[in-house]
């Protein structure tokens, strides 16, 4: 199948002026959107800067959710997963459906009518004190900051693979541009740049996919080759806690992590809760689901088609690439340079995926820091609107600098996909468990949920650190170099992979599939939280909870003996009917000189 392959030195010199132009145009557009919203009147208040105050449109938010959640991890990691471990991971599209339904049907109805800036404000109202809120806020910061580093490193690696720019220079370019337009433009700049970037993501993937399928003789031929080599597997129902290539581990591992992100993460919640109406907010989650399925499928099809092309000449074994995440960039520069501008489009695609996630993360980190931590101090509450906005911008800018530093820390990790899921999963799973206890378990109390949260997080961090100290190596399916060009086989030393290491006893927990880290943390958080709440008298406190802070499912799951009066929940419907008019009145008051304070309390 392979007739000619380029060396690394050859592909680095093939990034043409047209490619640089396409790439530069993407960066200029993103920056211009940020500058536009920096001077737009709608960003007059700090709350507008961070949340847009219930005025975002449905479709841009849906695309923004898609763009920010499917980062460079998807563009680089999913094709490599198809190539080296098979197609079972494609089943994660079911995880996306699970996450969207949980967020839209269980959490959104509770969140939407609460006027919060930080989603963690819900926890303070639900449990009656700020301890739980601050604990989860700190967990969010510790989870998101390293993840931003992983997301920033991914496109830097891609660009360094195909251009003379090294990883350090690429990190500074991406991080600097993103920090600039996020810190000056606020959430509106984030949403509208995401909309542009999601189309670039689709464009880059589609170009690669079409070219690869063309080279191997079509879609049917590509799947035939992949099937012959054992890559096609969708129903591996084996129970194996150490494998990432089983149906259960893929679906439930990513399902728990994505549910945690969509239902509890400030990054996602602050956008769909600021759509114009609750019905449109719910629709944005389901439109995002459709886009997610399409984008993931495009990435997976790229992996299958590229495998079919390189099925008898693996670039990694041949030593042409050093990490699996360089597979896509290598193919682009090996086979798309005949079309000027296409390598530039692919690099813009990877950068767009990263920029969208980074900008959303910086904005969310700024909102959580300001609302959950700084607003506790009277001197912050007394600040003018101009000074408050300056503080939020400074926070977003600072988190951009921190993410740049984190990118250099994670550069030693072999797989961007594994690093992202491991780092985020160690804390997201327990946080999701805590929020679920809050909305579905009326007897959950402060003591119980904090016990569950800390126990789940300690387990996840322990497994994460242990997996770094005692690595088990990468599990790859068999690859071949039998059809590589003879001159390459003579001049390049073949890379041999280290065998998998399996510890025994307690150390074997370090080698569980990284997909199970969020699942383990979630199960521990819910189990320990529920038991500890019951033992500490949670049932006696359940009837005192404001019913608006519980899901309607509570009255179907639990005995009504210890529950608050269900009839009180009709207040929510009345509030929903008048909510839009209240927002308009608030905006009119703001325009007349009344300050829209971001530090205001939640309306109940």
Q: How confident is the model over 486-512, as a mean pLDDT?
A: 65
CA angle 159, 73, 35 (to 5 degrees): 65
Average pLDDT of the residues of the chain: 82
Q: Could you tell me what percent of the chain has a pLDDT over 70? A: 83
| pLDDT higher than threshold 50 for residue 572 | no
Q: Which two tokens stand for residue 545?
A: 């909870």
Pick from 338-352, 493-507, 535-549: least confident: 493-507
Residues 6+ apart with CB under 8 A from 230: 86, 477, 478
Please tell me the total number of residues recorded for the chain in this structure.
Answer: 604
pLDDT at 477: 84
Three-class HEC string of 353-392: HHHHHHHHHHHHHHHHHHHHHHHHCHHHHCCCHHHHHHHH
| pLDDT higher than threshold 60 for residue 595 | no
Contact 557, 464 (CB under 8 A): no
| pLDDT higher than threshold 60 for residue 82 | yes
pLDDT at 417: 52
- pLDDT tens-digit map of 52-65: 777 889 999 998 88
Highest mean pLDDT among 137-141, 497-501, 571-575: 137-141
- pLDDT tens-digit map of 396-416: 889 988 888 888 776 655 555
In a domain? residue 82:
yes
d(CA 551, CA 292): 26
- pLDDT tens-digit map of 181-190: 878 877 888 8
In a domain? residue 537:
yes
In a domain? residue 392:
yes
In a domain? residue 597:
no
Q: How confident is the model over 143-154, as a mean pLDDT?
A: 81
Q: Could you tell me what percent of the chain has a pLDDT over 90? A: 33
In a domain? residue 290:
yes
Residues 6+ apart with CB under 8 A from 61: 191, 271, 272, 274, 275, 281, 284
| pLDDT higher than threshold 70 for residue 100 | yes
Domain of residue 431, CATH code: 1.20.1730.10
- 3-class state of residue 56 by DSSP: strand
Block residue for tokens 């060009």: 485
Q: Closest Cα to residue 383, out of 24, 46, 44, 4?
A: 46
Residue 498 pLDDT level (bands cut at 50, 70, 90): low
Contact 319, 484 (CB under 8 A): no
Q: If residue 31 lies in a helix (H) or strand (E), which one and from where to where?
A: helix 17-38
pLDDT at 34: 76
Residue 105 pLDDT level (bands cut at 50, 70, 90): very high
Structure-model confidence comparison of residues 66 and 70, the more confident one? 66
pLDDT at 214: 95
| pLDDT higher than threshold 80 for residue 567 | no
In a domain? residue 76:
yes
Q: Closest Cα to residue 163, out of 380, 337, 411?
A: 337
| pLDDT higher than threshold 90 for residue 577 | no
In a domain? residue 596:
no
d(CA 305, CA 208): 9
Q: How confident is the model over 195-217, as a mean pLDDT?
A: 92
In a domain? residue 231:
yes
Q: How confident is the model over 431-460, as a mean pLDDT?
A: 95
**Helix ranges (DSSP H) in 554-595:** 554-557, 570-591
Block residue for tokens 């322990």: 462
CA-based end-to-end distance of the chain? 65
Q: Structural domain tally of the chain?
A: 1
pLDDT at 202: 93
Pick from 32-41, 101-110, 210-219, 446-455: least confident: 32-41
Residue 602 pLDDT level (bands cut at 50, 70, 90): very low
Supply the range of the domain harboring residue 255.
8-478+489-591
d(CA 428, CA 410): 19
């Amino acid at each position: 199948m392979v007739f000619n392959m380029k060396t690394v030195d050859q592909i680095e010199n093939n990034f043409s002026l047209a490619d640089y132009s396409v790439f530069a145009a993407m960066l200029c557009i993103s920056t211009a959107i940020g500058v536009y919203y920096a001077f737009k009147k709608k960003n007059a208040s700090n709350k507008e800067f961070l949340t847009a105050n219930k005025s975002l449109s449905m479709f841009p938010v849906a695309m923004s959710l898609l763009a920010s959640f499917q980062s460079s991890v998807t563009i680089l990691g999913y094709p490599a997963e198809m190539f080296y471990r098979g197609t079972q991971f494609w089943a994660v599209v079911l995880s996306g459906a699970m996450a969207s339904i949980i967020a839209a049907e269980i959490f959104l109805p509770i969140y939407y009518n609460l006027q919060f800036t930080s989603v963690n404000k819900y926890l303070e109202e639900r449990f009656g004190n700020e301890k739980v809120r601050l604990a989860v806020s700190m967990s969010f910061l510790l989870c998101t900051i390293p993840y931003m580093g992983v997301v920033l490193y991914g496109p830097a690696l891609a660009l360094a693979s195909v251009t003379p720019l090294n990883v350090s220079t690429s990190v500074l370019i991406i991080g600097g541009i993103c920090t600039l337009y996020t810190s000056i433009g606020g959430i509106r700049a984030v949403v509208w740049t995401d909309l542009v970037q999601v189309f670039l993501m689709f464009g880059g993937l589609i170009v690669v996919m079409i070219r690869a399928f063309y080279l191997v003789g079509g879609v049917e031929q590509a799947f035939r080759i992949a099937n012959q080599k054992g890559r096609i597997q969708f129903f591996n129902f084996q129970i194996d806690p150490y494998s990432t290539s089983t149906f259960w581990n893929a679906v439930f591992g990513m399902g728990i992590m994505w549910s945690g992100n969509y239902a509890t993460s400030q990054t996602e919640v602050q956008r769909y809760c600021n759509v114009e109406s609750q019905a449109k907010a719910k629709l944005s989650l389901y439109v995002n689901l459709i886009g997610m399925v399409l984008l993931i499928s495009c990435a997976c099809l790229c992996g299958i088609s590229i495998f079919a092309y390189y099925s008898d000449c693996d670039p990694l074994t041949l030593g042409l690439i050093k990490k699996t995440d360089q597979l896509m960039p290598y193919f682009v520069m090996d086979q798309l340079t005949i079309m000027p501008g296409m390598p530039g489009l692919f690099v813009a695609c990877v950068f767009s995926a990263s920029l969208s996630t980074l900008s959303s993360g910086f904005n969310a980190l700024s909102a959580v820091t300001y609302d959950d931590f700084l607003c506790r101090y009277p001197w912050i509450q007394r600040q003018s609107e101009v000074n408050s906005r300056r503080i939020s911008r400074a926070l977003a800018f600072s988190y951009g600098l921190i993410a740049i530093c984190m990118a250099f820390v994670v550069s030693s990790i072999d797989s961007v996909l594994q690093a992202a899921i491991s780092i985020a999963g160690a804390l997201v799973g327990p946080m999701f468990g805590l929020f679920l206890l809050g909305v579905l378990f009326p007897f959950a109390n402060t003591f119980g949920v904090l016990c569950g949260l800390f126990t789940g997080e300690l387990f996840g961090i322990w497994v994460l650190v242990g997996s770094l100290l005692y690595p088990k190596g990468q599990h790859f399916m068999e690859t071949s170099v039998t059809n590589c060009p003879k001159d390459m086989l003579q001049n390049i030393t073949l890379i041999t992979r280290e065998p998998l290491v399996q510890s025994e006893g307690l150390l074997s927990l370090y080698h569980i599939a990284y997909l199970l880290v969020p699942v383990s943390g979630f199960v521990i958080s819910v189990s320990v939280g529920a038991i500890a709440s019951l033992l500490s008298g949670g049932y006696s406190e359940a009837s005192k909870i404001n019913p608006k802070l519980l899901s309607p499912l509570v009255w179907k799951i639990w005995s009504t003996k210890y529950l608050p009066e269900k009839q009180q929940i009709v207040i929510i419907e009345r509030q929903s009917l008048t909510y839009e008019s209240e927002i308009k009145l608030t905006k009119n008051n703001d325009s007349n000189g009344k300050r829209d304070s971001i530090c205001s309390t939640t309306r109940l």
